[in-house]
Structure formats: structure tokens, C-alpha cells
């Protein structure tokens, strides 16, 4: 097992187990609240050469929650002093991390136990696949403090729920529970409490061989789809496909499919998830 621990108090842990990277927010005493040290650790982890040995990344939190949002000490310093000096760098780094997660050349699976609030909700929704414990909740958290959404929360909610439903969730500070997230298409699977990490590792193992070019093209197309009419989107799909079909990944993938009669993405064993929403 390769492992890197970052920061004096180890606010972030990164290791690689059987080709799957595990990135753990590790400030359990404060429910992994977002601080300067945690953001520094996340950025260092996402830039670590340890990831070169992984085919997928699982993002999770230590202890009883995924991430409680902004650290209370930072909020107190912001209202008692220079808010721009305190919050400006934090928001900029948090947004850079969300963009980095969306640009990683490997599938990202979030494993959520407990609450993901504010910026923590944005980090969770930036993943490609989202596995929740049955009691997990995602909470916007911003408007109740006189702030506005950040970390991509309004973006991800609007795409999944539509403008009216997303606005209601933000205004009401709605705690979106696991069944609701599954029904609305924001979650991939709901499992028993305490099992989210194991289920996320299983999903990560399943998608660890997705070709990098295909993954990045798919993310771009999915992100563009709400802004396109059908004609523009078909053009975008054609451009992405053309960029891939002469590459080694495409040729190797087709050859493997033809030789084996099945996709190399097929799971090695049944995936035992409590509820995937499939019917």
C-alpha cells in the first residue's frame, strides 16, 4: 500500500490500495470542516505522484461526517476582521479543487456518511459517482448565513433538479437525504450506514479501467449538454469521438471487446449495493 500523509495535523490522507486511491478528509473532531490546512492538503494530494499508480479515486471523510462546510474559526475571523482576506483565498482554492476533481484522468467516486454541507456538498457532487450511507444528507448551508452557494453547488443542483427545484432547495436550506438524492439522480447508490466506503471502493474497482480520453470527453459532453440544442450537441459528440477514434485507447478497447466478446468494463463479480435506483 502506498500512502502519503499531508499537513502537521494530517488533515488529509491519501493512499492507494489495489490500484484504487483513497483520499480521506481527516479532521473528524470538527466533522472535516473546510480550513486552509485541509484545502492545502487536498491540493497537494490531487497533485501527488501517488495518484499515478491508481486507476480510480475514492473521496471520503473520516469519522461521523463527510464535510461540515466552512470551519467556524474561519467564519468568525471573516466577520470580525477582513472577510476578503480570510474568505477570498479559501473560496478560490476550493473552486480550484472542484475543477481539479473534474479534470482528474480517472473516475472519482465519493463515499458519503453523515452530512456534506456547503463546500463539502460541492466536493461530493464533483465526483463522477456518489455512494451514500442511508442516513447521509447533503445540505446547501449558504443562504442561512447570508452567503450564496459556492463550490459548484448551484451548478450541480440546477443541472440535476432544474432551476425551480434547485432554487427551492437552496432557499429552504433543504437537507437532501439519501433516498431523495437517489430519486433525483444525484446519487449512484444508497447502502447501509457504515458501508459507503466499501461500496465506493467496489464501484471504483469496476470503473478503474475506463480509458482516460473517453472519461474526459464524457465529462465535457455531460457538462455542455444543458447549454446546447440537439444539433450543437451532436456536433460536440462528433468532435469528441473524432478526437478518440485514431487513438491507442480506442483501438485497444475495440480489440479487447472483439477478442473477449464483452466489455473490459464488466465487473469481476456482482456489485452488492443495497439500492442503485435501477428498476
Q: Which residue has the higher pLDDT, 278 or 157?
A: 157
* Cα–Cα distance, 223 to 59 (Å, whole number): 21
The SS3 assignment for 148 reads coil
Which tens digit of pLDDT belongs to each residue from 93-116? 999 999 999 999 999 999 999 999
pLDDT tens digits, residue range 147-171? Answer: 899 999 999 999 999 999 999 999 9
Strands across the sheet with 2-6, in order? 2-6, 12-17, 20-25, 56-61, 108-112, 129-133, 189-191
Angle between helices 212-224 and 230-244 (to 10 degrees): 170
SS3 44: helix
What is the pLDDT averaged over residues 165-191?
95
- Cα–Cα distance between 65 and 275 in angstroms, integer? 21
Contact 175, 139 (CB under 8 A): yes
Q: What is the pLDDT of residue 144?
A: 86
Question: With contact defined as beta carbons under 8 Å apart, do 173 and 139 qualify?
Answer: yes
Does residue 235 surpass a pLDDT of 90?
yes
Using pLDDT thresholds of 50, 70 and 90, give the confidence band for residue 260: confident
Q: What is the pLDDT of residue 275?
A: 54
The pLDDT score that the predictor gives to residue 279 is 36
Grid coordinates given for 89:
483565498
Q: What element of type H or E holds 124?
A: helix 119-125
What was the pLDDT predicted at 8? 40
Name the DSSP letter for residue 195.
Answer: -
**CA atoms in the 13 A half-sphere facing the CB of 189:** 25
What average pLDDT does this structure show over 31-39?
94
Distance, in Å, from the CA atom of 155 to the CA atom of 177, rounded to the nearest integer, reads 19
Per the listing, cell 457538462 goes with 223
DSSP string, 70-98: B-HHHHHHHHHS-HHHHHHHHHHHHHHHH
User: Model confidence at 73, in pLDDT bands (50, 70, 90)?
Assistant: confident
Rounding to the nearest 10 degrees, give the CA dihedral for residues 82, 83, 88, 93. 110
pLDDT of residue 50: 92
Amino acid at each position: 500500500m502506498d500512502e502519503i500523509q499531508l499537513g502537521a495535523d494530517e488533515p488529509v490522507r491519501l493512499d492507494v490500495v489495489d490500484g484504487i486511491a483513497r483520499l480521506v478528509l481527516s479532521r473528524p473532531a470538527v466533522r472535516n470542516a473546510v480550513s486552509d490546512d485541509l484545502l492545502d492538503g487536498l491540493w497537494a494530494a490531487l497533485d501527488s505522484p501517488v495518484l499515478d499508480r491508481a486507476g480510480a479515486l475514492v473521496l471520503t471523510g473520516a469519522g461521523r461526517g463527510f464535510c461540515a462546510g466552512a470551519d467556524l474559526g474561519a467564519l468568525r475571523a471573516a466577520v470580525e476582521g477582513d472577510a476578503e482576506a480570510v474568505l477570498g483565498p479559501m473560496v478560490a482554492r476550493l473552486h480550484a479543487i472542484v475543477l481539479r476533481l473534474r479534470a482528474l484522468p480517472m473516475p472519482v467516486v465519493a463515499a458519503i456518511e453523515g452530512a456534506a454541507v456547503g463546500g463539502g456538498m460541492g466536493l461530493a457532487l464533483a465526483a463522477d459517482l456518489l455512494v451514500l450511507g442511508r442516513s447521509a444528507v447533503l445540505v446547501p448551508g449558504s443562504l442561512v448565513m447570508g452567503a450564496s452557494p459556492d463550490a459548484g453547488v448551484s451548478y450541480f443542483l440546477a443541472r440535476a433538479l432544474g432551476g425551480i427545484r434547485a432554487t427551492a432547495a437552496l432557499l429552504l436550506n433543504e437537507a437532501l437525504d439519501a433516498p431523495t438524492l437517489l430519486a433525483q439522480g444525484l446519487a449512484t447508490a444508497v447502502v447501509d450506514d457504515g458501508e459507503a466506503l466499501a461500496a465506493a471502493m467496489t464501484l471504483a474497482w469496476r470503473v478503474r479501467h475506463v480509458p482516460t480520453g473517453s472519461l474526459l470527453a464524457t465529462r465535457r459532453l455531460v457538462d455542455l449538454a444543458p447549454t446546447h440544442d440537439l444539433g450543437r450537441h451532436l456536433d460536440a459528440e462528433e468532435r469528441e469521438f473524432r478526437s478518440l477514434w485514431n487513438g491507442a485507447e480506442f483501438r485497444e478497447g475495440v480489440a479487447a471487446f472483439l477478442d473477449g466478446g464483452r466489455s473490459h468494463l464488466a465487473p469481476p463479480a456482482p456489485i452488492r449495493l443495497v439500492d442503485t435506483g435501477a428498476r
